[in-house]
Amino acid sequence: MKRSVSPLSLLLVLAVSCSFSCFEEKPDPLYDELVEKHNAQTVVEDLGPGDKIFIKVLHEPELSGEFTVSLQGTISYPHVGRVSVQNKTCLNVEDMIVDGLREGYLANPSVSCSITEYNSKQIFVFGEVKNPGAFPYRANATIIDAVALAGGFGQRARRNLTRLSRKVGDETLQVQVPVQSIIEGEKPPIKLLPGDVIYVPESPL
C-alpha cells in the first residue's frame, strides 16, 4: 500500500541525498555493526490508528480474528466492547482481553495477540526506484522488502550505493548498504525499523 509523501519527508530525503553524495562504492564497516546489533533486537511497538492486529482465543474461533485500530485508538471486541489500545503493546492487549472475557463469559481464556500491519508507522524509500514514497512498516521486514514495496530498482540504480538513514537515540546514523551483495548472498540483509529512510542513487549518464 503506497502512501503519499509529506513535504517534511521530501525535505528529509533531499538532506539525505545531499549528505550521501560523497560516498564511494566500498564496504562500510558501520553496516556490519548495525546488522549485528539491530537484527537481533525484537522491536516492541505501541499501537496506533490504522494498525491491524490478530487476536486468537484458544478453542474459541468466534472470538478470533483481525481487528483494525480506529482513528480513536480503539477496537471493538465481542463480549468486551470498545477497548482502547492506543499506545499499548500486544501484551497489554492480551491482558485487557483476558480481563474482559473473564467478566461473565470465559472462566480462564487463553489469548494471544500479534500485529499484522503497522500502518501507523512508516518507512521511506526514495531515489532510483520505480515507485518512491512512504510505506507501512512491517515487523522483520528487510531493506530488500522495502525496495520491493517501491516497485524495485530503476534502470540506473547504483545498488551497492544504497543508503540507510536511521534515528538511534538523539543521533541519526547514515550507512551504505551493499544491496547487490545482499541479493547475491554475500551479505546478510539488515532489518528495518520504523522511520528508516532508504535512498537509492542513480548512475550518471
- Predicted confidence (pLDDT) at residue 104 exceeds the cutoff of 50: yes
2 assigned to some structural domain = no
In the predicted structure, residue 51 carries a pLDDT above the cut 80: yes
**Is 171 inside a domain boundary?**
yes
Query: Is residue 69 located within the same domain as residue 139?
Result: no
Q: Is the pLDDT of residue 197 over 60?
A: yes
56 part of a folded domain: yes
Boundaries of domain holding 172: 7-43+121-200
CATH number at residue 95: 3.30.1950.10
Evaluate whether 118 touches 51 at the Cβ level (below 8 Å).
Answer: yes
Do 175 and 84 belong to one domain? no
72 plus 21 within the same structural domain: no
| Mean pLDDT value across the chain | 87
d(CA 124, CA 77): 33
SS3 3: strand
| Number of domains present in the structure of the chain | 2
DSSP 111-178: EEEEEEEEEEEEEEEEESBSS-EEEEE-TT-BHHHHHHHTTSB-TTB-GGGEEEEEEETTEEEEEEE-
More confident residue, 86 or 41: 86
Residue identified by cell 546478510 is 188
**pLDDT, position 18:** 46
Identify whether residues 33 and 131 lie together within a single domain: yes
Q: Are 41 and 50 in contact (CB under 8 A)?
A: no
Q: In terms of domains, do 135 and 176 share one? A: yes
Q: Which of 42-46, 131-135, 143-147, 150-154 has the lowest mean pLDDT?
A: 42-46
Specify whether 57 is located in the same domain as 106. Answer: yes
Question: Are 102 and 147 within one domain?
Answer: no
Lowest mean pLDDT among 19-23, 168-172, 201-205: 19-23
Nearest to 191 by CA among 40, 43, 39: 39
Q: What is the CATH number of the domain that holds 147?
A: 3.10.560.10
Can you give the pLDDT at residue 19? 45
Are 190 and 127 found together in one domain?
yes
For 50, counting Cβ atoms within 10 Å of its Cβ (0-12 exposed, 13-18 middle, 19+ buried), the class is: middle
Helix (H, G, I), strand (E, B) or coil at 39: coil
In angstroms, the CA 118 to CA 136 distance is 6
Q: Pick from 95, 117, 139: which residue ends a domain?
A: 117
155 and 196 share a domain?
Answer: yes
Given a cut of 50, whether residue 22 has pLDDT beyond it is no
CA distance 15 to 76: 42
